[in-house]
Amino acid sequence: MYETKEDDFEIFNLRIIHRKNRTGFEENKDFPIVIYSIIGGRYYVTEFLGSAAFSKVVQAHDLHLGMDVCLKIIKNDKDFFDQSLDEIKFLKFVNKFDPADERNILRLYDYFYFQEHLFIVTELLRENLYKFQKYNQESDGEPYFTLPRLQVITRQCLEALSYLHDQGIIYCDLKPENILIKSYRKYEIKDHVSLYVQSRSYWAPEVMLGLSYDQKIDMWSLGCILAELCSGEVLFPNEGIVMLLARMIGVIGPIDIEMLRKGQETHKYFTKEYDLY
C-alpha cells in the first residue's frame, strides 16, 4: 500500500467553456482575434494589444463586472499550456496573501479553457517601463523618470519584492519589461511575475558564475533598472558574458576572489589567475 498526504497536493478547477451541441475540436489551431467579438460569453474584445512567443494579448470589457481587463490567449501547445498553468498557480498564490491589493503585484481575475486555448484574465495595465522609456526618448519630450518619480517607483518595487521575499519567493527576472505602469499621473507601477531566471543585462554576478543565489539577485536587478531609467542607457548591455563581467568590474571593482573560487562557471570566463579571458 502506498501512503499519500493531502498536504502534498494542491487542486484548482479549470472552467471549460464550449458551445452547446458542438465538439471541442477546432479546425483552426490559431485562435482568431476579432475586435468587437465576445469570448466565452463574457469578454467583449475591444483592442489587440500585442503578441509574444506563446500568447496573444487583447483588451476586453468584462460584461459581468463592467470593467476593462487584459485577456491573455495562450497558443495551442502543451508546453505553453503547462507553463501558463504554473503562471496561474503562482498568481493565485501571491494574490491570496494580498487581498487588499497593496503589494503592487498583478491581479488575476479569471482563467478558463475555450476553443482549445487557455485564457488568463488579469487587470489591465499600461505600457511596461522599457516601452515607455523608449517612447519618451524617441519623442524628444521632457524626461519622465525624474528623481522624485524614481523614488516613488523604487518604493513600490521594494514593497513588491519585500512581499515576495516574505513568501519565500525569488522574483528571478526583474527587468523593465516586467514592470508595468498602472497610472502615469500617480507614478504607480505593478510587477508582472515571471518564471524565468534573470535576463543577461540584469544578471547578478553569482548567477553568471554559477554560484548559489538568494533574494539578493532581485536587488541587483532593481539597481540595474534604476540606473537605466535614470541615465536612459542600459547599465550592462548584453554583449556576451565576458563583456558583461568586464563592465561590472569597471563599475564596481574586482569580483571577490572567494566568489570566483566557488563559481562553477568561473573557468569559462577567467584564467587560473582569475583574469578575464
Active-site residue list: 173
Q: How far is CA 76 from CA 16, 50, 152, 232, in A?
A: 15, 17, 40, 38
User: Half-sphere exposure (CA, 13 Å, Cβ side) for 186?
Assistant: 8
Distance between CA atoms of residues 76 and 57, nearest Å: 14
- What stretches of the chain adopt beta strand conformation (E)? 15-17, 38-39, 43-51, 55-62, 67-74, 108-114, 117-123, 179-183, 188-191
> 105: which DSSP letter?
B
**CA angle centred on 129, ends 125 and 133, rounded to 5°:** 130
Sign of CA dihedral 192, 197, 201, 207: positive
Listed in sequence order, the residues at least 6 apart from 212 whose beta carbon sits closer than 8 Å to its beta carbon are 206
